[in-house]
Amino acid sequence: MRYRAFVLVAPGMPAARVKAVVGVKVVALACVVAWATATSALASTNSWSVDTTPQPTYSQLYDVSCSGSSDCWAVGGPLFERNTGAGWSVFPTPSLPAGARDLSCANESDCWAVTSGSIGHFDGTSWAPVSFPNASTSVLTSVACVDSIECWATGTDTSSPEHAIMDHFSNGVWSEVANPIINADLRDLSCVSGIYDCWAVGDANNAPLIEQNTGAGWTVVPNPVSVRSTLYSVSCLSGSDCWAVGDENPYPSPLAALTEHFNGAAWTVVATPHSLNVVLEGVTCVSHFNCWAVGFRGFNQRRHQVIEHYRASGWVIASQPAGVGILSLLSAIACEAKVTCWAVGVHGSPFTALIEVG
């Protein structure tokens, strides 16, 4: 999971708890209206709807993961939720800090979740904290597993000097592994199921960053984008089929959505129907010609969620569900058994966790 572009603020929340938003510009409403008019003809016919499960006020969801045909988890602040086929419900996690930033499930009894200073493991019955290096200074943002016995987590060590970290789970123990770029800001991880091929994305030195590990350590992979950009999410179906999404922010030019594809040899930029003022924060694929990306357009009080669908003809805009107001954004998306997809985020005022099904 990505370190999200926005953290919504509850009335009276102390300033020290508010995360700053970096490199974000306020966009005039006229730009949003023009964007909607220009792209309305590109809409996908796929149907999305808002899940009606009641959500706590002043909550938001950062990530979602499905491990089977009817077992999905969603995590955020300050909650864990689970859906085993009968609807979403809050799952108690008394031994963990409130909420999580990201999670990854190998199966119904093997899930990992990360957040600031905490790694939690689900064994099929309950969540429990697991020790790992430098927990007191670590802010973890993503976790992904090669299989049930080997996983990776990434984030930032806030001790001086602040630096990117890679934590590795193997033989039942977490250990820290050096990252090739110290000042990297790594946002997401993805590991190909069944083989040792993991990817990490983010940014470093005002440029997008992609790293790969095929078992011999992490190395930086050439990226086709050289302007100021960030990749927030990556998803791989195989060693020759990966997608990464984010945004280009070549100040003073306007912000624009960014999608990249890896074909086994190189990453290339792929056109997206969204032009300006769009950030894509989550991506997932169920097959080569069936991928989804989510995010938002506009900023501050004019945010509105975005859903894109990749088919053989390329990326198209998916139909937006009814009942979602202008204050909404989607952070992540996952699909169960190639049939049902879930997107999570936040909407409304006061803000409330958002779950959509498509």
Q: Which residues contact 241 (CB under 8 A, 6 or more apart)?
A: 261, 262, 263, 264, 285, 288
pLDDT digits (tens, 9 = 90+) for 303-344: 899 999 999 999 999 988 987 877 899 999 999 877 899 999
Amino acid symbol at 27: V
pLDDT digits (tens, 9 = 90+) for 98-155: 889 999 998 899 999 998 889 999 999 999 999 999 899 999 999 999 888 999 999 9
All residue ranges of the chain with pLDDT < 70 are 1-46, 275
Q: Which CATH architecture has domain 15-357?
A: 6 Propeller (2.120)
Global pTM? 0.87
Neighbours of 224 (CB within 10 A): 11
Question: From its phi and psi, is residue 12 left (phi > 0), alpha (psi between -120 and 50) or beta?
Answer: left
β pairing state of 43-44 and 314-318? parallel
CA neighbours within 13 Å on the CB side: how many for 123?
Answer: 5
- CA distance linking residue 102 with residue 117, whole number of Å: 13
Q: What is the residue extent of each domain of the chain?
A: 15-357
User: DSSP readout, 195-219?
Assistant: SS-EEEEEEETTEEEEEEESSS-EE
Q: Is 117 helix (H, G, I), strand (E, B) or coil?
A: coil
- CA distance linking residue 162 with residue 183, whole number of Å: 8
H helix or E strand, kind and range, residue 29:
helix 29-39
* pLDDT at residue 245 in the model: 98
